[in-house]
Structure formats: C-alpha cells, structure tokens
C-alpha cells in the first residue's frame, strides 16, 4: 500500500530524487539526432528483438520505479484465455509491441472497454477515463487543463490516445513509464493531484465491480482460470489491452499514402512537403507513421530521442519553464532537461486543441506561427520571457520564413491527418450506452 502511493504520486511531482537515477537511458531521453526525411517509414525498425521486457519495465514485471508488482500483484500473466489476436493493419503500419505478460485477447479488450468508460472506477463515482479522453476528440477533452474527480486541476493537457499502443514513453515527460498498464496506475491511484482517486476506495471499487453481473461475465471470459479475477492488475491490463486497439490509420493522408492521389488536396500535398523539408524541420521530432519520435513497435531495436524543448518559455533568461511544468527535468533533475517534453502524435491534431503540455496554445495556426518564429515570446505576466532564446531549445526549432500560402498548406496537411473512422468507430465507443 505504502509503495503504491509513493509510486503513483512520483510522476507528477516536481522533484523526487529517487526518480532521477532511474532513467539510465541517455539516448532515449535527451539526445538529438538527425533523422533522414522519411514520410511514413519508421526510423526505428530493425530485426526482431522479440522480448518485450528487454527495453525496460514491462507491465509490472520489474523493480524499476513506477513498477507496482511489489504490492503483491502477480507478476506473470494471470489465468487468461490464450491469445488468438490478429492485428488488421495497413501496409505502412507495423504491429504494436505487446508486453509478454499481457497478451492481446478480444475478451480482455472488451472488459477493458467497459472499464475505460465506467465511472465506478473513481472513488466518488463521478469520473471515468473517458471523461478526459473523449472519442469524438480523438480521446482528448478540449480543455487546457482537466479537472480530476475531486476537483484538483491536473497541470497537464489531456493527451490523445490515438495509437498509444506505439508510445515508447507515456505521458508528456515521464521517461520511466514504459507500459500502458503501468501508466494506468497514475489516473487510478494518484493523490496529488487526484484523478479517479481509486486509492481512497480500492477495496470498495473492486467490490462494486465484483457485484456487477456484466462484469462477472466479462472477467470470467477474460481471465477464466484466475481465482482472483477482479483484481487491480487484471483491471489495468484489460484497460491497457483496450487502449492498444485505439489505432488511427484511416485518415485522408493514409489513403494518399496507400496510393489514392485524390484523397488529399493539392494544398495538403504541398503542406506535407513543407512538413518533411529541412527548412520547416517538423519531421525531425514528429517522425514516422505516427508523427512522433517517441514511437516503438514490434521489432524496435533502437530507442530514439523522445523529449525536446521547443522554446515555449524562458522565464528568467536562463531557460526556466513555469514551476510544475519543467518536463523531463522534473524526473532527471538535469538542468539541460528543462522544458523537454515528448512530441505528441499529430494524428487527429485538428481535433485535439488546445495544444502543448499545458494547453497554452489555443489554435493550430498559433502553433505553426510559434514554430515559424522559432519559439514563443511572452510579453508580460509571471511567465514573461523570450522562448526563442531559451538555451535548452532544440536546434531544429530555429524559425523559418512562411508565406500565407505556406501556412495554409501546412495546416491543410495537418488537417488531412484527421481520421473520422477512428472518432466514430463503434468498437471504441461507450459499451454502456
């Protein structure tokens, strides 16, 4: 119990020394490399490395910070149905990497979907995962900063869950959360700030689910030979399995990649060329089929740089970001990690406003203007400063000339990444309605 609290709280706290040493993966956290322009390929593919756990903590199977297995949860896979899962993916999409101890099954996915949409998972019964991750908004919530079930403001913008199966790192800046079932401990059990607040009613919530007939069937189908089916590890793994199915690959841009020349406008095609150009530089960080370097999939061998400073703040001229929003530096305590965040996927980005880790940019047009300027200037107030001069800013954010036509083209390209089949797919919708 003690341990779970500590761990669950760490990821959002500014400076917990114990997290500092745990990164140990310099190449994956702060370096930057030149990536060749590679529109839809992956920069990280390579021969299969098969063992999912070799890249770091898997779903509760190691003793890294962020792991929860010491709470008495079983470590291996629990008595579940054998996996007969098959991915149905287009050619330009690799298979996601699935942790060995949490294989995919249709039964677990269905259980996970029910849990994802169930407010009984919060202590006071007022909030579910879906309240901050709404399918129609590509699983974001339209707010700058969301509010948890007990009224706490969460100091980060809710992230899209589109293609989260491919995230090599989860959340905006945590270098340690490597699996979805690990990540789920945060919204469930975090106290400061509180999201679902399940930590205040762990046994009660398990009781609520155990008493429900729908769940009796769903848990039995998913974990038939497990004596203690209704457990937190089974809950987290089922939600993780559901999230791995949230795949977005049916946008107009995907149709274009698959050979349909007319799927996107001429403007969007020009915009794509700008996006992948060495003048606009976007692709260096929003790389590959998922438009983010923080991507891994089955067969990934190399860990690509996952965190960057894009010059949004420079409070005292020394590069400081606002208190509580230091990014990677909160975990590594390294000054050069100040303001470094994960590049989010740009799939469905036209639906995920407001933007950035703190929701501080309202529109896509303003995001693009900020990159063109090489960072953000804040004239007055507590956060005043010239982000263009932030000493920790990536050299890929150095500004560029952009005509009105260029801007319209780049925006048209970004809009072509909107996948309406994804935001309306009944398989991802609320099963309780």
Q: Is 115 helix (H, G, I), strand (E, B) or coil?
A: helix
Residue whose CB is less far from ligand HEC, 28 or 187: 187
Residue whose CB is less far from ligand HEC, 151 or 227: 151
Give Dmax (Cα) for the chain.
64
- Interacting residues with ligand HEC between 195 and 224 (CB under 6 A): 195-196
Close Cβ partners of 238 (under 8 Å, ≥ 6 residues apart): 108, 109, 111, 112, 115, 222
**Which member of 295, 352, 390, 416 binds ligand HEC (CB under 6 A)?**
352
Q: Closest by alpha carbon to 54, among 303, 232, 257?
A: 303
**Which member of 114, 237, 286, 376 binds ligand HEC (CB under 6 A)?**
286
- Interacting residues with ligand HEC between 288 and 317 (CB under 6 A): 308, 310, 312
- Interacting residues with ligand HEC between 56 and 115 (CB under 6 A): none
Report how far residue 339's alpha carbon sits from residue 102's, in angstroms, rounded to the nearest whole number: 33
In angstroms, give the least distance from the CB of 398 to ligand HEC. 9
Check binding of 387 to ligand HEC (CB under 6 A): no
Report how far residue 343's alpha carbon sits from residue 337's, in angstroms, rounded to the nearest whole number: 14
Residue whose CB is less far from ligand HEC, 260 or 323: 323
**Which member of 8, 40, 123, 159 binds ligand HEC (CB under 6 A)?**
159
Check binding of 172 to ligand HEC (CB under 6 A): yes
Q: Closest by alpha carbon to 176, among 343, 10, 310, 336?
A: 10
52-60, 94-102, 150-158, 377-385 -> range binding ligand HEC (CB under 6 A): 150-158
Break the chain down into helix, strand, coil percent, rounded to 5.
35, 5, 60
Check binding of 133 to ligand HEC (CB under 6 A): yes
Residue whose CB is less far from ligand HEC, 30 or 394: 394
In angstroms, give the least distance from the CB of 243 to ligand HEC. 6
Report how far residue 354's alpha carbon sits from residue 93's, in angstroms, rounded to the nearest whole number: 27
How far, in whole angstroms, is CA 172 from its chain's centroid? 7
Check binding of 138 to ligand HEC (CB under 6 A): no
Cis peptide before 354 (omega within 30 of 0): yes
C-alpha separations of 183 from 9, 179, 298, 346 in Å: 12, 6, 19, 21
Residues that bind ligand HEC (CB under 6 A): 12, 127, 129, 131-133, 146, 148, 154, 156, 158-159, 161, 164, 167, 170-172, 180, 183-184, 187-188, 195-196, 239, 243, 280-282, 284-286, 308, 310, 312, 341, 343-344, 346, 349, 352, 355-357, 364, 367-368, 371, 394, 396-397, 410
């Amino acid at each position: 119990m003690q341990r779970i609290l500590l761990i669950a709280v760490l990821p959002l706290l500014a400076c917990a020394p114990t997290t500092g040493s745990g990164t140990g993966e310099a190449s994956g956290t702060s370096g930057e490399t030149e990536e060749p322009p590679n529109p839809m390929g992956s920069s990280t593919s390579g021969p299969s490395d098969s063992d999912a756990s070799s890249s770091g903590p898997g779903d509760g199977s190691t003793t890294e910070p962020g792991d929860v297995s010491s709470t008495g949860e079983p470590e291996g896979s629990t008595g579940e149905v054998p996996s007969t899962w098959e991915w149905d993916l287009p050619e330009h999409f690799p298979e996601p990497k699935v942790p060995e101890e949490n294989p995919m099954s249709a039964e677990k996915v269905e259980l996970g979907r029910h849990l994802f949409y169930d407010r009984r998972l919060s202590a006071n019964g007022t909030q579910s995962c879906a309240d901050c991750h709404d399918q129609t908004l590509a699983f974001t919530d339209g707010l700058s900063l969301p509010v948890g079930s007990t009224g706490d403001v969460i100091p980060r913008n809710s992230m899209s869950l589109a293609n989260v199966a491919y995230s090599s790192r989860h959340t905006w800046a945590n270098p340690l959360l490597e699996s979805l079932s690990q990540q789920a401990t945060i919204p469930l059990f975090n106290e400061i700030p509180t999201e679902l607040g399940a930590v205040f009613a762990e046994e009660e919530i398990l009781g609520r689910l155990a008493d429900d007939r729908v769940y009796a069937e769903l848990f039995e189908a998913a974990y038939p030979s497990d004596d203690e089916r209704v457990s937190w590890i089974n809950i987290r793994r089922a939600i993780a399995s559901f999230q791995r199915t949230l795949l977005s690959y049916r946008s107009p841009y995907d149709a274009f990649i698959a050979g349909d020349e007319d799927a996107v406008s001429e403007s969007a095609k020009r915009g794509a060329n700008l996006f992948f150009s060495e003048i606009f530089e976007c692709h260096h960080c929003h790389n590959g089929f998922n438009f983010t370097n923080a991507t891994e999939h089955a067969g990934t061998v190399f860990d690509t740089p996952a965190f960057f400073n894009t010059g949004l703040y420079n409070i005292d001229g020394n590069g400081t970001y606002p208190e509580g929003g230091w990014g990677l530096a909160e975990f590594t305590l390294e000054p050069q990690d100040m303001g470094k965040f994960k590049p989010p996927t740009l799939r469905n980005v036209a639906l995920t406003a407001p933007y950035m880790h703190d929701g501080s940019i309202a529109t896509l047009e303003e995001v693009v203007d900020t990159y063109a300027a090489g960072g953000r200037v804040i004239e007055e107030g507590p956060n005043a400063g010239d982000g263009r001069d932030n000493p920790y800013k990536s050299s890929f954010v150095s500004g560029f000339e952009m005509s009105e036509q260029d801007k319209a083209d780049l925006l048209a390209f970004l809009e072509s990444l909107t996948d309406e089949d994804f935001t309306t797919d009944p398989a991802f919708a609320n099963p309780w309605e």
